[in-house]
């Protein structure tokens, strides 16, 4: 950061009046603030103690927390075996030659001899020789399909590509940080002899190249990466296969069930089994590619994870070590075009031109983004499988949970889990049993939760959140510095890590430099600067960045919106905070309101751990609100204080209750808490913090409320994609009128349509042209639509 700051100051003399404007605002004398609490920063990424208690104790030691970080793309003379002036100029090339690439033989013969392929060749499996094809032709077909799936990595090409990529990353990023302690955990897991499967978030198209490079540089070997077949041209697929990429063959359709598809999927299953037996690490992306409209969890990622689970269940390998991975960027590198809306997949020439454009635009630029790679604690798949099945309970659809409450037919919310799966089930996953399918879906959600929880928060996300939620009309730089430090400490107090360090003034300068296209800087009196977010597309981009902070404050945000819903019918929203603080809120009402909002919010947004019940999450929300001071327990005269536990007697049923038992027996504790009441906190910071939390969920809730209002004007019946386009146009028009552009988002429109479909507001009916969305009879009247809109708007902060 200091180097970037010095370069900025050197270039400010010849960049015109805009550069002088920037430098004048940062000439104030400010104290250097280290944005960390105490000596140590939080060590994130511990595995779940409920599902994997043995793994939680292994692969970790407190000494790992003190190992610090390394910049993966910083290669010097000391990183090679040679010394001298020539080495200092060729150190990157020499470093790439010294990378350890284990020899990898062609696994064709072993795959041909595997049990699965032999079953296909002998006709014992569907799609095999029993379907009328001679074995000789089937062998050739197996070889052809394997050629589409993988290829032996070429060491020379890997070294050459590593050298080119190292130079490109140094031109593109300021640093790529990796925690040495986390890397040591992964090395320790690899030394145990079990195959490693890394499951990662997906933030950029560059992830599939950057992560293998990082792990290869740390001595983990060649990482086999799962790629989407339809996103690359045949030429690019051939290059990526030579670098360790894995592809599903075009015949292995995920959603069809013809003999050709069954045969191809059998070969894919055998290839994965042989890959695990060989001990090569595997990388699977659990999130859909960035910018892809649809569910957050990837159907392709779940299919490959299902193949891994199936190999362990069949005893091909005794166990597999799973490693959640997260990657965070200051600014995500721009894709050459929107690959999800283009009719042509990405090719070699397209990628090369995009790299050249990026290099030309970034040449001589001193404001480069930073990257942080996080490796969470590894855990055993067998251990998770054994313990996770005990946490499964009854589930109900969203229509049964919320529709009676919305329409006024029922006032009690069932304390059961919500059944909501938006990721389509593939044929590879259907090959498993029903319980194993549920296991894979829960495991993928559990791992994605761990990856998001361990992901570092970058400075651009903090700045975007502050500008959107606290300073939409502009803020002086001196006040912004204090708010930046406050929000950083709040995140660290909650056990989340940040992807930056250094002096506060230099850090804010670097962050605003990265966001120059989305903010406006105005010079005011006394040499200070006024920072104002740009309207329109600038606010939309800031909203995407600020979404990275939602998992950190999600419990408090859900609780604050629930309290907002409770007070909506009692106190005017524009009333003073003291008037809100007079109202008593019972614990029964708080639980009820949190459950309502919890069921309304999509599971892809919440990403709750499957082992955590709704009751436990409601208690966590209440505890968080008490800890941050927004709720204060109200003591009635003559009663024993709530904090006085000395006279409480532990009954036998409480003493012998299992810690993991979240059944109806928990209703005893729920009934004991019915008489507790709370008031809003009276501290001076409470009103601002309450509004800050409510505004974190405002884009999603606002989009849902507008979707409910659009039911009166929407043209139905229509296809799902057509109705989403209608709703998106309505959201964009409303955003222009209100100046709140962050909720006019295609993903939010799609989430609203899917939520209304699960809620029973919209229903699908078959037609010759395909499935059509129609308005359900329960919400055909304007009175029912009004009730739905008012139910959602009670949680929205104005």
Buried/exposed code over 397-422 (b: 16+ C-beta within 10 A; e: otherwise):
ebbebbbbbbbeeeeebbbbbbebeb
pLDDT higher at 165 or 358: 165
pTM for the predicted model, two decimal places:
0.88
Q: Is the pLDDT of residue 628 over 60?
A: yes
- Upper half-sphere CA count for residue 737 (Cβ side, 13 Å): 7
Q: Is the pLDDT of residue 710 over 80?
A: yes
pLDDT for res 429: 83
Residues 782, 712 contacting (CB under 8 angstroms): yes
Residues 575, 670 contacting (CB under 8 angstroms): no
Task: For residue 431, name the pLDDT band (cuts at 50, 70, 90).
Answer: confident
Q: Is the pLDDT of residue 236 over 60?
A: yes
DSSP state at residue 714: -
Longest dimension (CA), the chain: 89
Number of other residues whose CB lies within 10 A of the CB of residue 228: 18
Q: What span, in angstroms and rounded, lies between the C-alpha atoms of 275 and 278?
A: 5
Structural Rg of the chain based on CA atoms: 28
Q: Is the pLDDT of residue 727 over 80?
A: yes
Q: Is the peptide bond before 717 cis (omega within 30 degrees of 0)?
A: yes
Q: Both tokens of residue 507?
A: 């850090």
Cα angle 757, 759, 760 (rounded to 5 degrees) comes to 70
Q: What span, in angstroms and rounded, lies between the C-alpha atoms of 438 and 393?
A: 12
How, if at all, do strands 677-680 and 224-226 pair? unpaired
pLDDT for res 328: 94
The dihedral formed by the CA atoms of 748, 753, 755 and 757, expressed in degrees to the nearest 10: -170
* Distances, alpha carbon 758 to alpha carbons 401, 403, 407, 607, 753, in Å: 10, 10, 15, 18, 9
Nearest to 97 by CA among 163, 152, 166: 163
Q: Both tokens of residue 524?
A: 């005011």
Q: How many residues does the chain have?
A: 798
pLDDT higher at 674 or 418: 418
Cα angle 469, 741, 751 (rounded to 5 degrees) comes to 95
- Phi first, then psi, for residue 764 (nearest 5°) are -95, 135
Q: Is the pLDDT of residue 791 over 50?
A: yes
Q: Is the pLDDT of residue 126 over 70?
A: no
Q: Both tokens of residue 650?
A: 């532990």
DSSP state at residue 425: P
pLDDT tens-digit series, residues 61-70: 777 877 888 9
Q: Which of 221-235, 249-263, 469-483, 621-635 has the lowest mean pLDDT?
A: 249-263
Residues 204, 78 contacting (CB under 8 angstroms): no
Residues 596, 664 contacting (CB under 8 angstroms): no
Nearest to 322 by CA among 193, 189, 197: 197
Pick the CATH number of 699-793 from 3.40.1280, 1.20.120, 1.10.10, 1.10.3470: 1.10.10
184 has which bridge partners? none
Contacts of 596 (CB under 8 A, 6+ apart): 402, 405, 413, 562, 565, 791
* Distances, alpha carbon 499 to alpha carbons 323, 330, 374, 482, 548, in Å: 20, 9, 10, 19, 12
pLDDT for res 681: 85
Residues 459, 677 contacting (CB under 8 angstroms): no
Nearest to 723 by CA among 741, 746, 698: 746
Q: Both tokens of residue 63?
A: 């000494």
Task: For residue 575, name the pLDDT band (cuts at 50, 70, 90).
Answer: low
Instruction: Give start-end residues of each CATH 1.10.10 domain in the chain.
Output: 699-793
Mind giving me the DSSP string for 444-479? HHHHHHHHHHHPPBPHHHHHHHHHHHT-TT-EEHHH
Helix (H) or strand (E) segment spanning residue 1: none
Mean pLDDT, rounded, for 372-388: 93
> Which CB contacts under 8 angstroms, 24+ apart, belong to 767-773?
767/717, 769/719, 770/719, 771/719, 771/720, 772/717, 772/718, 772/719, 773/716, 773/717, 773/718, 773/719, 773/720, 773/723
282 has which bridge partners? 197, 224
Q: Both tokens of residue 140?
A: 């050739």
pLDDT for res 667: 46
- Phi first, then psi, for residue 307 (nearest 5°) are -65, -35
Residues 480, 530 contacting (CB under 8 angstroms): no
Residues 499, 372 contacting (CB under 8 angstroms): yes
Question: Which stretches of 51-122 are assigned E, i.e. beta strand?
Answer: 69-71
Mean pLDDT, rounded, for 596-613: 90
Nearest to 330 by CA among 200, 461, 205: 461
Task: Map residue 245 onto helix, strand or coil.
Answer: strand
Task: For residue 36, name the pLDDT band (cuts at 50, 70, 90).
Answer: very low
Mean pLDDT, rounded, for 455-479: 92
Contacts of 235 (CB under 8 A, 6+ apart): 347, 348
Give helix 504-514 / helix 2-11 axis angle, nearest 10°: 60
Q: Is the pLDDT of residue 18 over 60?
A: no
* Distances, alpha carbon 237 to alpha carbons 64, 142, 145, 148, 251, in Å: 38, 19, 14, 9, 15
Across the chain, mean pLDDT equals 82
Q: Both tokens of residue 522?
A: 């105005």
Q: How far is CA 732 from the centre of its chain?
A: 26
Task: For residue 740, name the pLDDT band (cuts at 50, 70, 90).
Answer: confident
pLDDT for res 336: 40
Q: What percent of the chain has pLDDT over 70?
A: 83
Q: What span, in angstroms and rounded, lies between the C-alpha atoms of 546 and 504?
A: 20
Q: Which fold has domain 458-534?
A: Nucleotidyltransferase; domain 5 (3.30.420)
Contacts of 562 (CB under 8 A, 6+ apart): 590, 593, 594, 596, 597, 621, 795
Residues 568, 561 contacting (CB under 8 angstroms): no
Q: Is the pLDDT of residue 205 over 90?
A: no
Instruction: Give start-end residues of each CATH 3.30.420.610 domain in the chain.
Output: 458-534
Q: Both tokens of residue 597?
A: 């909002």
pLDDT tens-digit series, residues 642-675: 555 454 444 444 444 444 444 444 444 545 555 6
């Amino acid at each position: 950061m200091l180097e970037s700051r010095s370069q900025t100051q050197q270039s400010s003399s010849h960049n015109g009046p805009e550069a002088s404007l920037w430098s004048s605002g940062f000439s104030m004398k400010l104290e250097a603030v280290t944005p960390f609490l105490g000596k140590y920063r939080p060590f994130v990424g511990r595995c779940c103690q409920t599902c994997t208690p043995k793994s939680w104790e292994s692969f970790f030691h407190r000494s790992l927390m003190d190992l610090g970080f390394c910049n993966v793309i910083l290669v010097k003379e000391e990183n090679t075996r040679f010394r001298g002036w020539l080495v200092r100029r060729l150190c990157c090339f020499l470093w790439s030659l010294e990378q350890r690439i284990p020899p990898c033989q062609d696994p064709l013969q072993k795959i041909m001899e595997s049990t699965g392929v032999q079953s296909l060749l002998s006709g014992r499996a569907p799609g095999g020789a029993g379907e009328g094809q001679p074995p000789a032709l089937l062998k050739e077909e197996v070889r052809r399909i394997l050629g589409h799936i993988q290829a032996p990595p070429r060491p020379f090409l890997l070294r050459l590509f590593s050298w080119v990529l190292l130079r490109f990353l140094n031109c593109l990023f300021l640093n790529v940080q990796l925690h040495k302690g986390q890397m040591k955990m992964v090395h320790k897991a690899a030394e145990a002899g079990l195959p490693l499967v890394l499951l990662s978030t997906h933030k950029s198209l560059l992830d599939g190249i950057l992560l293998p490079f990082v792990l290869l540089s740390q001595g983990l070997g060649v990482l086999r990466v799962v790629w989407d077949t339809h996103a690359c041209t045949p030429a690019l697929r051939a290059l990526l296969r030579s670098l360790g990429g894995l592809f599903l063959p075009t015949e292995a359709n995920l959603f069809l069930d013809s003999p050709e598809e069954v045969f191809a999927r059998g070969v894919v299953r055998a290839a994965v089994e042989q890959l695990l037996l060989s001990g090569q690490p595997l990388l699977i992306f659990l999130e859909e590619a960035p910018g892809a409209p649809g569910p957050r969890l990837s159907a392709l990622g779940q299919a490959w994870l299902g193949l891994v689970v199936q190999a362990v269940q069949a005893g091909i390998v005794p166990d597999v070590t799973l490693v959640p991975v997260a990657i965070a960027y200051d600014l995500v590198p721009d894709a050459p075009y929107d690959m999800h809306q283009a009719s042509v997949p990405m090719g070699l020439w397209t990628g090369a031109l995009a790299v050249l454009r990026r290099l030309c635009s970034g040449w001589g630029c001193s404001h480069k983004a930073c990257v942080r790679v996080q490796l969470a604690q590894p855990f055993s798949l067998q251990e998770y499988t054994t313990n996770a099945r005990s946490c499964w309970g009854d589930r109900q659809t969203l229509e049964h949970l919320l529709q009676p409450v919305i329409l006024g037919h029922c006032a009690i919310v069932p304390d059961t889990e919500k059944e909501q799966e938006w990721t389509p089930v593939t044929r590879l996953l259907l090959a498993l049993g029903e319980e194993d399918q549920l296991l894979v879906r829960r495991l993928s959600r559990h791992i994605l939760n761990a990856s998001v929880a361990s992901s570092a928060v970058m400075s651009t996300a903090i700045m975007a959140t502050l500008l959107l939620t606290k300073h939409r009309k502009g803020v002086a730089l001196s006040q912004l510095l204090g708010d930046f430090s406050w929000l950083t400490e709040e995140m660290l107090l909650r056990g989340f890590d940040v992807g930056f360090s250094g002096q506060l003034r230099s850090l804010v300068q670097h962050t605003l430099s990265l966001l120059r296209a989305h903010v406006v800087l105005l010079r005011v009196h006394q040499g200070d600067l006024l920072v104002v977010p740009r309207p329109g597309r600038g606010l939309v981009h800031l909203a995407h960045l600020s979404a990275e902070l939602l998992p950190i404050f999600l419990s408090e945000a859900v609780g604050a919106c629930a309290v907002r819903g409770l007070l909506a019918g009692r106190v005017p929203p524009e009333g003073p905070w003291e008037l809100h603080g007079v109202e008593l809120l019972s614990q029964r009402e708080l639980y009820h309101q949190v459950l309502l909002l919890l069921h309304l919010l999509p599971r892809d947004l919440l990403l709750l751990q499957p082992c955590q019940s709704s009751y436990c999450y409601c208690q966590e929300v209440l505890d968080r609100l008490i800890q941050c001071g927004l709720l204060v327990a109200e003591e009635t005269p003559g009663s024993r204080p709530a904090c006085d536990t000395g006279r409480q007697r532990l009954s036998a049923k409480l003493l012998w209750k299992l810690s993991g038992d979240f059944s109806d027996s928990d209703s005893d504790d729920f009934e004991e808490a019915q008489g507790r009441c709370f008031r809003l906190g009276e501290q001076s910071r409470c009103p601002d913090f309450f509004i800050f939390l409510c505004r974190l969920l405002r884009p999603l809730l606002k989009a849902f409320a507008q979707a409910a209002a659009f039911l009166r004007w929407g043209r139905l019946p229509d296809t799902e994609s057509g109705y989403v386009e209608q709703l998106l146009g309505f959201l964009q028009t409303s955003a222009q009128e209100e100046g709140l552009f962050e909720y006019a988002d295609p993903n939010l429109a799609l989430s609203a349509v899917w939520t209304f479909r699960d809620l029973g507001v919209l229903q699908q009916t078959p037609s010759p042209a395909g499935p059509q969305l129609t308005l359900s009879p329960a919400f055909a009247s304007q009175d029912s639509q009004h009730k739905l809109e008012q139910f959602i708007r009670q949680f929205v902060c104005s």
